[in-house]
Structure formats: structure tokens, C-alpha cells
């Protein structure tokens, strides 16, 4: 069968760099760090006392009080990002087939704060089983997709993907595949996370996965730098509207880029560490390029997973060189996590947006906080350190790799 073409017709986000797409992209191009002291709880007893929180967030700006109380913040962020993307897509809801419009939304963890609050309440009440009736509907990771579909009456496929830090990339790929197979016309897809909580920070501290650079939070996320000491947690959400090309053209939609292809692999190596030679990362990029019917030299920009962890940064750069060979040194590459922090299950979506905006605007977002390159990393690669640059981007690839060995790569290209 002939596969349908898939395009991006709407974008939305809320994160540490901004409460919408324009604020986020403006700060990303300026190289702004979203990190700062944790305000969600008293972090003074924790090894890490900073994160990339959504700043100046007032839920009652977006939700009535009774509604806000029924929604964990990961769902609030999902609805806010999706709402911006839907408005950006400018749908006439009277003219689209809502049975062929769906929602695939990701979260790596779901309602972690809700779970923590209910357990604390249970213990404080001498283990009396008096749980909030909204406990389960607030906590479960699929509930954000449910809320979004209810809000817009999207009656097509509706579910969640959970694959740690690759979650929202998997959601985007699933939406793409269903559209190109002719199963749907439109998807709201992306991811959201609210894990900068006592349990989230404490858990990642116990794993020694996150930075403890409390004296200088804004430079703590320093991918590929010899002084990196772990990733910086981030909160927020990011949404994309994927749409079948002819459907978008017929309604006169604004098109940001074409979704060209996606790849998915498993490391089958370790629950938290990447394959040291970047085996899974190599294979997933090659699969995405093949799926997009492109050659490696057609890619102009790679948004790296680039978490600022010791093993991950080295393995990923090895994989880039294996995949792109000599072209690796002509690529622009960067890690926008140096600015947004690591949004866990939402990271694939926010970095897909960064890749799309690089194509649309001809600007490469930087990898900030570079002081001294790790000697184990090839210094001839163009990491776009500390300052954005102008460059035409015909096609961009974005990587996400999750605990458990889950790998996903997505490719967007200019519409031709």
C-alpha cells in the first residue's frame, strides 16, 4: 500500500524556558539556562537542591480550582501544551472527522506527586484507608491522553506510551505510523512530566544520576564537558499536531515541517547504562534514516540526547561518528537539555520541537555550559557550544534514550 505523508501543523509547550512556544524558542536561541533552586518543596536535606522547574506557574490561570485539584501537574502541563498546539493548528472542528482524530500522549512516570501525597496522608492518618477518590485517576500515566481527548472530543486512537526518557518519541512515532497507514487524519501527541518532587529527586540522587552542583545550578547541565556530574531534572510538557499531508493542505493549514521517519531499538544491555559503544543508538539512527528514505549526508542537524552523564555522552558521540562517518564533522549537533533540563518522558517532544524550529528558522540552538571538552569525546564535532548559529537545516534528527535500553530517533525535514 502507498503510505501517507505526515506533517506537523501545530506546536505547544510549557517548560523551564517559557510558558509557550515563542518564549521557549527565544530563550533557547539566546542560550538561557532554566535551572535554579527547587521551589516545589524544601530540598535543603537533599544532595541535589536545584532543577529546571516551570517558573511562576499558577495553575488557576489555566484551570478552575475544582478542576485543578483533580489533576496532577503532569496532566496540567499536558493540557496546557496541547491547548497551545491545537490553537496553533487552527482547526475548524465542524469540518474535521473527530472519529479519525486521536491522542497519543507520553509520561515516563505519571502522577508521582499524587502518589507521594496519598501515601503520606495514609501514614499520617495511622494507616486508615481513607484515600482520595481521585487518587488513581490523577496518578495513572495514561490519564493525560484521556483528558486531552475528552476536551477536544477526539474519538480516534487514544493511549499512552511509557518508555522512560524515550516515551514521547515513541508516542510521536506511533502517531506518525497510524496516520501514514491511513488509520487516522490527526493526532495530538507529545509528553509531560512533573517529577521534581521529593520522591523524584531522592530517587535519582540514590542512583547518583543527577548533578549535585548546588553552588552553581545554571551551569550544572554541561553535556560533553569534562566536569559534568549528571543530568538536571526538568518539568513541563510539549505537544505536536501531526496531520496527514493532503488533509492539512485541503484545509489550508500552516505546515512547520514534514515528519520524515522514525526508528526504535533496544540496547538489551543494562537497566540504566547505555551500551558503551553506542550499539543501540547507532542502530536506531540508521533505522530512522532508512525509514525516512534519506542518506546520512541529508541530515544537517542532530539534537542529541546529551544528558550530561559520564557514560551516555561518550556512547552517543561514538554512535554519531559510526552512523554519519565523514559527514559527522559537517553536522551541527547540540544538546538542548543544557537549557531545559531533562524532562524525562517529555524530553522527546520538547527536543522534537527544537528540531522543527531549527528547520523552520534556520537557527541551531546551542549546547550551553561548555568549559572543557571531555578528552574521550571527538573535538572535531560541531557541538554548537555556548552560542546559537545560523544554518539552513534541510532535515533534523533527534535522539532519545531511556532507562531499560529504550532508544528512539525521529527525523523531520523541510516540506518539498
Q: Cite the active site residues.
A: 165, 305, 342
Residues 6+ apart with CB under 8 A from 119: none
d(CA 412, CA 256): 10
Residue with cell 522512560: 164
Show the CA angle centred on residue 187, arms to residues 173 and 194, nearest 5°: 75
Beta bridge partners of 406: 266, 402
Residues 131/133/139/140 CA torsion (nearest 10 deg): 120
d(CA 188, CA 138): 20
Beta strands per DSSP E along 52-133: 101-106
Q: Which long-range contacts (CB under 8 A, 24 or more apart) does 201-210 make?
A: 201/38, 201/43, 201/46, 201/48, 201/51, 201/233, 202/46, 204/48, 204/233, 205/46, 205/47, 205/48, 207/272, 209/272, 209/309, 210/48
Amino acid at each position: 500500500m502507498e503510505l501517507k505523508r505526515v506533517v506537523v501543523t501545530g506546536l505547544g509547550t510549557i517548560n523551564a524556558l517559557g510558558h509557550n512556544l515563542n518564549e521557549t524558542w527565544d530563550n533557547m536561541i539566546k542560550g538561557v539556562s532554566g535551572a535554579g533552586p527547587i521551589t516545589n518543596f524544601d530540598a535543603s536535606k537533599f544532595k541535589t537542591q536545584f532543577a529546571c522547574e516551570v517558573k511562576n506557574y499558577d495553575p488557576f490561570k489555566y484551570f478552575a480550582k475544582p478542576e485543578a485539584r483533580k489533576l496532577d501537574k503532569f496532566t496540567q502541563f499536558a493540557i496546557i501544551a496541547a491547548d497551545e498546539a491545537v490553537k496553533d493548528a487552527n482547526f475548524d472542528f465542524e469540518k474535521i472527522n473527530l472519529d479519525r482524530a486521536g491522542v497519543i500522549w507520553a509520561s515516563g512516570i505519571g502522577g508521582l506527586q499524587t502518589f507521594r501525597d496519598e501515601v503520606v496522608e495514609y501514614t499520617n492518618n495511622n494507616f486508615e484507608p481513607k484515600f482520595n477518590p481521585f487518587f488513581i485517576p490523577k496518578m495513572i500515566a495514561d490519564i493525560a491522553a484521556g483528558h486531552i481527548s475528552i476536551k477536544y472530543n477526539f474519538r480516534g486512537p487514544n493511549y499512552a506510551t511509557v518508555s522512560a526518557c524515550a516515551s514521547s518519541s515513541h508516542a510521536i512515532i506511533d502517531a506518525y505510523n497510524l496516520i501514514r497507514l491511513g488509520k487516522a487524519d490527526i493526532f495530538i501527541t507529545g509528553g509531560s512530566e512533573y517529577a521534581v518532587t521529593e520522591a523524584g529527586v531522592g530517587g535519582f540522587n540514590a542512583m547518583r544520576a543527577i548533578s549535585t552542583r548546588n553552588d552553581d545550578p545554571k551551569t550544572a547541565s554541561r553535556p560533553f564537558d569534562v566536569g559534568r556530574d549528571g543530568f538536571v531534572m526538568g518539568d513541563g510538557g510539549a505537544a505536536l499536531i501531526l496531520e496527514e499531508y493532503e488533509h492539512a493542505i485541503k484545509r489550508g493549514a500552516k505546515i512547520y515541517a514534514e515528519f520524515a521517519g522514525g526508528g526504535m531499538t533496544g540496547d538489551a544491555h543494562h537497566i540504566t547504562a547505555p551500551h558503551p559503544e553506542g550499539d543501540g543508538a547507532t542502530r536506531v539512527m540508521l533505522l530512522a534514516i532508512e525509514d525516512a528514505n534519506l542518506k546520512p549526508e541529508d541530515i544537517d542537524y542532530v539534537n542529541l540526547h546529551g544528558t550530561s552523564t559520564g557514560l551516555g555522552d561518550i556512547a552517543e558521540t561514538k554512535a554519531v561518528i559510526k552512523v554519519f562517518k565523514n559527514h559527522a564533522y559537517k553536522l551541527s549537533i547540540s544538546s538542548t537539555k543544557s537549557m531545559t533540563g531533562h524532562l524525562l518522558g517529555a524530553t522527546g517532544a520538547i527536543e522534537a520541537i527544537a528540531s522543527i524550529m531549527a528547520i523552520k528558522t534556520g537557527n541551531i540552538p546551542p549546547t550551553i555550559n561548555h568549559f572543557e571538552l571531555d578528552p574521550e569525546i571527538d573535538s572535531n564535532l560541531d557541538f554548537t557550544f555556548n552560542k546559537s548559529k545560523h544554518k539552513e537545516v534541510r532535515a533534523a534528527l533527534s535522539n532519545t534514550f531511556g532507562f531499560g535500553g529504550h532508544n528512539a530517533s525521529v527525523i523531520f525535514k523541510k516540506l518539498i
